[in-house]
Every structure is written in structure tokens, then in C-alpha cells.
Structure 1
């Protein structure tokens, strides 16, 4: 436990009167504030706060600890001002979580380039097609592709994630090119179990078009879905960050080009802006610069 941060959290909760307001002030999640408070009480071996649904009040032990905690924070601020941080070099290990497809296609190369610039930074990259628990799994940064982010986390948008309905040239030659969404009923449709299960969703002429599809082949992994499409197994909606080069090289062709699947955001997710490792702050800036712009690099010609 970072005892200095736990001390800061305890004082902030007392001064603001609630965990939620303290979390907003400290720019961290309410869950993280609660975790620090519990760790602080375990460290001191006493309950510091009485908590009800309406108010928070200090216990006798909390009242005694408050003055000492404020003195500790003042001392820490003095030390920081005297020592300064200008000469710090980013270092240490960061734990990163990301989907396997984005990790393979975009993030792994970005992290290697970052390490060339900052050789004292190490990474553990967890590739998982699920939303990991940042607190429980000690994740410093998660890269998530979604339009529905969990409340309570700090998020910075890195890029847009566009997708295309695509198929192999061999499949289109054999089965024909659909002209309107209704034509999909006569085609082999491949789906991602977490994204397009049971239907394809498009935007056309400013309207949402939802098309039920028979799931000829379904998987929970985008790399498997891409491989099945390349093998001529049917058509599927896949992100351009993953199949952009396949489209440029002619290994895949776009289907129903006037119908666009939903665009999602690529986000950097982390628990708090306070007391971030220098390496983490620099990495988020690096990823935003690398992937940002009107079009992300994988969508540029």
C-alpha cells in the first residue's frame, strides 16, 4: 500500500465529507478511495470513520489520527518541493491490459517503440478478450474499445475504431456480392460472440439498420474470426485496425460499402491521475500522439 496516498485519501474524505466527493477531488475512482481507506485502517489497526448512507464522521481514533496525517502531508509536500522532480527518468514496470487483436496489431509495436525512447521502462502486457479488474489485477493501464465505459475510472480517448463488413475475394466470386442488407440472409455470416452475436448493425443515410443473421460461425476472438474470413468461410464485421492491411493488399474486400458498422472509441483507462508513475503519464501521452488525429494511422492511405 502507498501509505502517503492512503493518508491523503483519508484527509480528503474527512474534508469533503464523502467518498464520492473525495474521489472527484483526487481524480480517482470511488472504489479506489474505499480501498485506500480500508488499507489505512488495517495499517493503524483502528476504525477511523463511522459511515452511514447520509454522512461520515470521525471515530475517536480517527480524530487522533487526523492531525498527525495532516502534519505528514505537509512534511511530504516540503520534501517534494525541496527535492524537485525535474531530473526524474521514467523507469519501472507497467502492467497493461488490452484485447488480443489490438495488442497484436497495434499496441505491441507501440510499446516497443516507447521502450526505445525510455529503456528503463518494462512492460507486462496482458492480452485478454474481457474487461479486466484494474484494482484486483493490479493493472496500471487498460486499452479498451467501447462506447460504454465503466463509471468511476479515468479515461482518455486515443482514437476512433472503425469496422467493415468484409469477405475474401474467393467467397464473393463464389457466392456473389450482396447489394442490400436483406441479401445477407442468403450468405454465410460469421460473428463475434461479444460484439455482433445474432445480428449486424449498420448506419446508412443517418439511420440505424439492424440485420438479423444466422450465425454460421461464431467465436469470441477477433483473430480467429479474421482467419475464418480469409479462408473463405463467409463474411464478418472486423475492425480496420486489424484488417486494414488485408483490405489494402486485396486479401479481403469490403462488403456493402454504403453501410457502416458503429464506430467505437479506443480509450486509455486508469484508476487515478494523482501520484501516477512518470512512465505511465508519458505512455498515455505517447499513445494519444501515436494513435490520434482525424484518422488513426491504420485508416490512413
Structure 2
């Protein structure tokens, strides 16, 4: 390939990247505003120019060949560099401006991010925010999202990951529910005599694991009358005196402060499948657009202050 001949296949490189990311000519064509046959022709032109097969095509799936995987990595770098070039104007702007698209899981977006974004919008009148609420793993690069919040123990590779806050799950119930049941709850095994509101998303979500620092671990298989994979629903179930719910602390905070619910087994660490940290993720680059940087810094500062205040409060037990 000649010195400048790569210029004529830059669109083909973008198409190949999207096809490989989505695993489908049709999905890539929809994203790029073309027909599947046009997307296929562009990938074939790129393969001809490079001189190797990049994709193995079958009736059921597409697979990257070994040279295709290498080309995919290089094309992704190319698109990231192009996105960075498009943002150069903002890098030299004295005032952050423009639209920031940020995605987050539903409960976290509503209970944690939303209040702080309202404050951010008042502080930065030239920056707009689109909050995308989605309980799935959003691909920042493929979906054109500037910032992604993910709750995990291991942030994904290939993205910058900034730790926002720890995500702790607790057990809680209303004083009225606890008063109606004679069985005191001092050990996880005592939960076997109670109705417990669990996730039900995976087979072992009703296997509740606990750790008491320096003492012992415990696991119990709980049962309950109401099962839901949404933490707000489980909290509302607990508020309706249906039993003991596992919920993130950020979801239960207002109800705890109001005394509507109290913590159960507060001296045990509840080790659910969804503990860890909330990370804010974005594509790697030598610089981050000012509009994104000020939002990241605002959320880091606000959540750090909130976490410090929460740690300073006494923990109520059952």
C-alpha cells in the first residue's frame, strides 16, 4: 500500500471496526446509515487493500481472523484519535461547554447521580447533560457515550476508570415487621425463620453470604414472599412490612435516616453478588474534553463528601 493510499480506505476502516464490534453487518449498517450490502463491500475493499482476510463469515456469526484482530486494534486507535481531534477546539476553550452523555444503572442514576447532576448544571450553565439510564453494560466508544458509570469489582480493561464510591449492600426491615416476629436476628442462620426479599436474577441469588471481621463466615439459603431484581422494588417491599430486604446503602439511606427501616445484622458484612465500587469510565486519551473533566471532577468531589458524611454517622442495628 502506497504512502498515502490508506487515505482512500479510512471509511472502510471505520465500517470494519463497527462490524467487528457489533458482530453483524446489519447492526453496523444501521449505526452508520448504510445498507448491509454496502457495509460488506467496504469490508471486502479493505481486505483487498490490506491483502489479508479480516473476518471469517458464516451463516451464524462473524469472527475476527488473527490479522483481523490486529487490524481491529489499530482501527480502534484510529477512531479514538479522530474523536480526540474533533475535540481539540474544546481543549483550548477557556470555558467548558457542550453536551456530555453519561450512562448509569437505573437505581444509581436516580438515587446518587441525579441530585449531583442538578447541582452541576447550575454550576456550569454552558454544559448540558444527557443522563442515559440503563441496567446493562454500555459500550462508550460504540454507542457514542462520553462517560459510563458501572458498579463492579473489576473495571474493564481499555478504559480509564475513576473510582466514585464504594457500593455496600445491607439488610433492612421495618421496626413493625421485626416487632411482629419473635425470632431475634443475631446470626445469619436466624434469617431462616424470616421472609427475605432477594434478587432472583441468578440461581444463587437467594444464597446470602456474610462475613464477620476476624471471626467467621456464614452462608444461608433464604426464602421470601417477594423477589425482584430491582433494588427500589425490594426496598418498597420492606417498607410494606413484607420482610427483610437486601439493598444498596445508597438506596436505603433516606429510609434509614427517617427510621422507616433499620439495619439487620449490622455487625456482619453482607457479601452479595453486586458489591464493589462505582466507577466512572471513559475512553483513554492524552486529554479529556473540559466538559467531561468538570463533570467527572464534580461527581468525584460530591460523592467523596457524601461518603465521608455517611461513614461519620452511627450504624443502627436490629
User: TM-score when scaled to structure 2?
Assistant: 0.67
SS in 2 for 1:218: coil
Q: Aligned match of 2:294 in 282, 289, 292?
A: 282
Instruction: Quote the residue 2:143 is aligned against.
Output: 137
Which range moved further: 288-297 or 109-118? 288-297
SS in 2 for 1:122: strand
Identify unmatched segments of 5+ residues in structure 2: 1-5, 11-19, 23-27, 33-40, 55-64, 72-77, 314-318
Q: Aligned match of 1:197 in 194, 205, 209?
A: 205
1:271 aligned to 2:283? yes
- By relative contact order (CA 8 Å, sep 6+), the higher-ranking structure is 1
Taking the aligned partners of 1:132 and 1:240, their CA distance within structure 2 comes to 24
4+ long deviations beyond 6 Å: 54-58
Counterparts in 2 of 1:251 and 1:90: CA distance versus 1, 3 Å: same
Instruction: Quote the residue 1:181 is aligned against.
Output: 188
Alignment: residue pair count: 250
Taking the aligned partners of 1:96 and 1:156, their CA distance within structure 2 comes to 14
User: TM-score when scaled to structure 1?
Assistant: 0.70
1:96 aligned to 2:109? no
SS in 1 for 2:198: strand
SS in 2 for 1:216: coil
Contact 1:200/1:210 (CA < 8 Å) preserved in 2? yes
Counterparts in 2 of 1:119 and 1:208: CA distance versus 1, 3 Å: farther
List aligned pairs for 1:15-34, cutoff 5 A. none
Counterparts in 2 of 1:121 and 1:175: CA distance versus 1, 3 Å: same
List aligned pairs for 1:27-46, cutoff 5 A. 46=46
Following superposition, the deviation at residue 57 of structure 1 comes to: 9.3
Instruction: Quote the residue 2:252 is aligned against.
Output: 243
Taking the aligned partners of 1:86 and 1:152, their CA distance within structure 2 comes to 26
SS in 1 for 2:157: coil
* RMSD of equivalent CA atoms: 3.6
Instruction: Quote the residue 1:164 is aligned against.
Output: 170
Contact 2:109/2:133 (CA < 8 Å) preserved in 1? yes
For residues 247-292 of structure 1, what are the alpha-carbon distances to aligned partners after superposition, in whole Å with 9 as ceiling and x for unaligned?
A: 1221001111221123521110122234532211221122111112
Taking the aligned partners of 1:279 and 1:126, their CA distance within structure 2 comes to 17
Instruction: Quote the residue 2:25 is aligned against.
Output: none
